[in-house]
């Protein structure tokens, strides 16, 4: 029986840079967002609320990041996959911390899940663009 | 007037074995799941998150086990029975801890309800196969 | 800037074995306990409630495991270190999921923190003996 | 009657830089910390968990920042002022989000309170050094 297995972890420096880039991208788009990066265990590594961003959206950003990391899926695609199954959708979105709408992306390196980024405060499409900008700033893309 | 009635209880040893077997079955199927066994009171007896299993699905496994024990029914059959009654379905699935989609099975011995097993992390069908494997490992089957 | 760092993770198989061994040790001691193993992110990997173990102690076992992993310290030693500092103790023990009394041990491999084990249901001393038995069953000891 | 009054607000860019600098300072000191900056309303603006920092200390960092902003005082000085009054200290530290031990500093500009920074994960003294480094990185000092 193996007691341990090796894995990758997202660094704090990368998480910090990613939330900064997501908030910057929102400014470029003329909106204001909150951005959160969690590790693979769903725990916040970095958070940033942009100037003028909606206050309760801070928790939504965290929930999108948690959901993307927790289910290893973009929150938008996750919702699309479940929308035809109302009982499943209700069962899953009723869990604490789960937010099944666009703006959350899993963070992967070498094919391994290492965390999630969630953005909230603008439209679903804008949120997702900002989340993607966060990934790109640290040299990662959706895989 | 009888003040007491005798009942059967699921042992910790069996609950431990069942969650292990459910997680093992998932590995055989090439997926990763969380498994939870609750007693007839709906309280967790045993839990196991397989390597790489979705994190929020841990709570869903527990909810499926609770639902199966709580309503003495497989969660898939439970959903089927209610799907034609959306108001009832909504009222019931809105209760805390209720998950009405496949992957939860009641645990019965000698016709008596003694608990529930819930599995989450793969497809609904795979989850249910793993839950059944958990029962079989302790010499019980759906009755 | 490094985007990732490598780390070790505790396997599900080891977590499963550890909670089983902790509950077994309690039976040897003539008591009944709940045991929980969390990963380094504080999320439950495995749980087992022994036959006859106190029900609310299940959450305490989880909290001790979380605290031991979260602070990389035995919960008993953690309490000893803080008992002279009432404001710090209040600030820390007021956090959700933090339980600063004996029965929780960090799990380390090759000097790296990979999780925590928490046991609750008997005396503080017995709980800690059972937690230690859980570690020993997977070839790890307090380091 | 004046209906409004002008006030200063801390920018997201400064909050982001401050948490980064606090975490960097910890690395210099050979420790690992969580850092949080809140605005004058006590709401998180920026958060960063350093590599290897204690997990539950993330919430403590936030609580120290909230306390420093909320009472417009360094959390260490706040404790000193209250330690002779145990009933008051208990009443105040029992409030949600209040952490009365060193590591939290108010953030002020032109004599006006604009937020708080809280650091947690190392010794109280080290935490406070890191919080101060966060302020210095954005050209502010304790006033």
pLDDT digits (tens, 9 = 90+) for D103-126: 999 999 999 999 999 999 999 999
| Cα dihedral B79, B80, B86, B89 in deg (nearest 10) | -20
Report the pLDDT value the prediction gives residue B85, as an integer from 0 to 100.
87
CB-based contact D101 C85, cutoff 8 Å: yes
Q: How far is D85 from chain A (nearest CA, A)?
A: 36
> Residues of chain B whose pLDDT is less than 70?
142-143
**Average pLDDT of chain C, as a whole number:** 95
The answer to whether A46 faces chain D, any CB pair under 8 Å, is yes
Interface test with C, best of A1, A2, A3, A17 (most C CBs within 10 A): A3
CB-based contact B51 A95, cutoff 8 Å: no
**Is pLDDT above 70 for D16?**
yes
C-beta separation of B95 from B70 below 8 A: no
Report the pLDDT value the prediction gives residue B143, as an integer from 0 to 100.
58
| ipTM of the complex model | 0.95
> A51: closest CA among A25, A31, A22, A65?
A31
Chains D and B touch (3+ CB pairs under 8 A): no
C-beta separation of D34 from D131 below 8 A: no
**Is pLDDT above 80 for C143?**
no
Give the chain D residue nearest A45 (alpha carbons).
D49
Predicted confidence band of residue A6 (pLDDT cuts 50, 70, 90): very high
**Is pLDDT above 90 for A90?**
no
pLDDT digits (tens, 9 = 90+) for B16-51: 999 999 999 999 999 999 999 999 999 999 999 999
Return the SS3 of A106: strand
pLDDT digits (tens, 9 = 90+) for C50-85: 999 999 999 999 999 999 999 999 999 988 888 888
pLDDT digits (tens, 9 = 90+) for D35-91: 999 999 999 999 999 999 999 999 999 999 999 999 999 999 988 888 888 888 888
Query: C97 to chain D: which residues are within 8 Å by CB?
Result: 56
C-beta separation of A117 from B82 below 8 A: no
Q: How far is A70 from chain C (nearest CA, A)?
A: 11
Query: B40 to chain C: which residues are within 8 Å by CB?
Result: none
Interface test with A, best of B73, B101, B126 (most A CBs within 10 A): B101
A contact residues 57-86, partner D, Cβ 8 Å cutoff: 58
Q: What value does the CA radius of gyration of chain C take, rounded to a whole number of Å? A: 14
Q: Chains contacting A with at least 3 CB pairs below 8 Å?
A: B, C, D
Report the pLDDT value the prediction gives residue C89, as an integer from 0 to 100.
84
CA dist., res. C75 & res. B54, Å (int): 28
CA dist., res. C70 & res. C133, Å (int): 21
Provide the CATH topology of domain B12-137. Beta-Lactamase (3.30.450)
**Is pLDDT above 80 for A70?**
yes
Interface test with D, best of A16, A41, A130 (most D CBs within 10 A): A16
Read off the pLDDT of each residue in C7-23 and give the average, rounded to a whole number.
98
Report the pLDDT value the prediction gives residue C18, as an integer from 0 to 100.
98
CB atoms within 10 A of CB D81: 14
- For residue C53 the two structure tokens come to 């173990």
Read off the pLDDT of each residue in C36-47 and give the average, rounded to a whole number.
98
% pLDDT > 90, chain C: 83
**Is pLDDT above 70 for A143?**
no
Q: For residue C121, is it left (φ>0), alpha (ψ between -120 and 50) or beta?
A: left
**Average pLDDT of chain A, as a whole number:** 95
Predicted confidence band of residue C105 (pLDDT cuts 50, 70, 90): very high
pLDDT digits (tens, 9 = 90+) for A9-47: 999 999 999 999 999 999 999 999 999 999 999 999 999
pLDDT digits (tens, 9 = 90+) for D2-14: 999 999 999 999 9
CA dist., res. C19 & res. C12, Å (int): 11
Predicted confidence band of residue D143 (pLDDT cuts 50, 70, 90): low
Chains D and C touch (3+ CB pairs under 8 A): yes
Q: How far is A81 from chain D (nearest CA, A)?
A: 32
Query: B59 to chain A: which residues are within 8 Å by CB?
Result: 95-96
Interface test with A, best of B23, B27, B55, B128 (most A CBs within 10 A): B55
Predicted confidence band of residue D141 (pLDDT cuts 50, 70, 90): confident
**Is pLDDT above 70 for A125?**
yes
A contact residues 96-135, partner C, Cβ 8 Å cutoff: 109-110, 114
Domain positions in chain B = 12-137
**Which residues sit opposite D107 in a β-bridge?**
D115
Read off the pLDDT of each residue in A50-72 and give the average, rounded to a whole number.
97
C-beta separation of A70 from C41 below 8 A: no
Read off the pLDDT of each residue in C99-109 and give the average, rounded to a whole number.
95
Give the chain C residue nearest D62 (alpha carbons).
C95
CB-based contact A91 B83, cutoff 8 Å: no
Give the chain C residue nearest B50 (alpha carbons).
C12
Query: A21 to chain C: which residues are within 8 Å by CB?
Result: none
Query: B11 to chain C: which residues are within 8 Å by CB?
Result: 51
Query: B53 to chain C: which residues are within 8 Å by CB?
Result: 12
CA dist., res. C14 & res. B95, Å (int): 34
């Amino acid at each position: 029986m193996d007691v341990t297995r090796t894995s990758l972890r997202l660094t704090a420096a990368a998480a910090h840079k990613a939330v900064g880039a997501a908030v910057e991208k929102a400014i470029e788009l003329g909106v204001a967002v909150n951005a959160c990066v969690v590790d693979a265990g769903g725990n916040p590594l970095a958070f940033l609320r942009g100037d003028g961003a909606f206050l309760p959206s801070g928790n939504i950003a965290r929930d999108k990041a948690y959901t993307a990391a927790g289910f290893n899926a973009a929150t938008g695609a996750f919702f699309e996959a479940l929308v035809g199954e109302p009982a499943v959708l209700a069962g899953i979105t009723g869990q604490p911390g789960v937010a099944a709408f666009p703006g959350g992306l899993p963070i992967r390196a070498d094919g391994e899940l290492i965390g999630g980024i969630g953005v909230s405060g603008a439209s679903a499409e804008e949120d997702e663009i900002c989340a993607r900008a966060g990934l790109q700033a640290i040299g990662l893309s959706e895989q």
